[in-house]
Amino acid sequence: MYIPTLADMLVAHERIKPYIHRTPVLASQYLNDLTGAELFFKCENLQKAGAFKARGASNAVFGLTEEQAAKGVATHSSGNHGTCLSYAAGRRGIPCTVVMPRTAPQAKKEAVRGYGGRVVECEPSTTSREAVFAEVVAETGAEFVHPYNDPRVIAGQATCSKELIEQAQGLDAVIAPIGGGGMVSGTCLTLSNLAPQIKIYAAEPEQADDAYRSFKAGHIIADDAPVTVADGLKVPLKDLTWHFVQSHVTDILTASDQEIIDAMLLIWKRMKIVMEPSSAVPLATILKNKEIFAGKRVGVIITGGNVDLDLLPWQQK
C-alpha cells in the first residue's frame, strides 16, 4: 500500500491548478454567534463539477502517462466521483466509463454524460457493481480510479486544506464530512505536515456511522447499505483512508438526519449558497457539540453542491 506524501500533494496542486477553482472561504456572523466559534467555510460546492472530487480526479487523470491515458479511465460511482472523473477525462480528451446503479438519480447520470462520460448501469448491489465493473475493465483496459482509496485521489483532495490554511490564518481545528474518507485523508495528509497543531475532526451521519464505530473499535467496520439523507457518505473506509483516520483524526462526531437537514437549511438561508446534505453534516455536529468548538477558529469544508433541486429534503414528507 503506497501512502501519499506531502511531496505528492504539492506536485498534485501544481498539476491540477489549470483545471480547478481556488474556491472561496466564506463566513457568517450569524453562525458564529449561534455556535460560539469563528467558522470559516471552504466552499467546494463552488468547485468545478460542483464538488471537491474534481481535485482528486484531475490529479489522477493528468498524472497518467500517454500510454495509460490512451485507454481511458473507469470507475464505479453513484454520484460526484463519476461526474468529476468524467470532467477531468473530458479536459484531457480521453474516454471515461462510469458504472452506476440503475437506481442512481437521473440527474447524476446526465451529469456524467454531460462531461462526455459513458454510463454503464448495474443492479444496486456491491456484487453486481463489481461484476459489471470487471467486465468494463476487461473490455477497455481502462485505468481504474477508485473514488477514495487511491493515493493519487487523496493527494488531490489534500490540496483543499492547503488552500484553506492559506486563506484562513490561525485555525484551531478543521472539520470535514466522512464517508469513504478521501477528503478527511487528504486533510490529514496536509495538516499533519504543514500545521500539526490544528485538530482534525470528521463528521458523519448517525444512520451511516461505520467510520465512528471503526474509530472507537480500532478497526474497520463496514456497513453494507446504510440509509441516510447524506447520500454521499454511505460508503465504508478502506485500508488507505483508515490509515489516515486512525493516525491523525482527533474525533468523529455524528448527527441525526433531522439535524443534518436543519443545518443544511440554515446554511441555505443564512449564507445563500447551494450545498448538498452531506456538506451540512459538519455544521450539524458543531451545533450539537458547541463546547468542543467554543471560542475556536474552525475551518469547515463544504464538500459539494450537487443536489436535486426538485427533491430538497425539507420538502419531503
pLDDT at 234: 85
Q: Are 282 and 177 in contact (CB under 8 A)?
A: yes
User: Count of alpha carbons within 13 Å of 17, Cβ hemisphere only?
Assistant: 8
pLDDT at 78: 76
Q: Is residue 103 predicted with pLDDT exceeding 60?
A: yes
Q: Is residue 89 predicted with pLDDT exceeding 60?
A: yes
Q: Is residue 225 predicted with pLDDT exceeding 80?
A: no
* Cα gap 181→154, rounded to integer Å: 9
The DSSP letter of residue 304 is: B
Helix 53-62 with 151-167: angle, nearest 10 deg:
130
Q: Is residue 224 predicted with pLDDT exceeding 80?
A: no
pLDDT class of 283 with cuts at 50, 70, 90: very high
Q: Which domains does the chain have, with CATH numbers?
A: 6-51+150-315 (3.40.50.1100), 54-144 (3.40.50.1100)
Of the candidate ranges 103-107, 175-179, 218-222, the one whose mean pLDDT is the lowest:
103-107
pLDDT class of 53 with cuts at 50, 70, 90: very high
Mean pLDDT of 62-77: 96
The pLDDT tens digits for 124-165 are 777 888 899 999 999 999 999 999 999 999 999 999 999 999
pLDDT at 253: 98
3-state secondary structure of 190: helix
Q: Is residue 307 predicted with pLDDT exceeding 60?
A: yes
Q: What is the distance, to the nearest Å, from the Cα of residue 75 to the centroid of all Cα atoms in its chain?
A: 15
* Cα gap 290→259, rounded to integer Å: 14
* Cα gap 154→8, rounded to integer Å: 9
* Cα gap 26→164, rounded to integer Å: 11
Q: What angle do CA 230, 40, 241 make, to 5 degrees?
A: 50
Mean pLDDT of 169-184: 97
3-state secondary structure of 5: coil
Q: Is residue 22 predicted with pLDDT exceeding 70?
A: yes
Q: Is residue 317 predicted with pLDDT exceeding 60?
A: no
pLDDT class of 97 with cuts at 50, 70, 90: very high
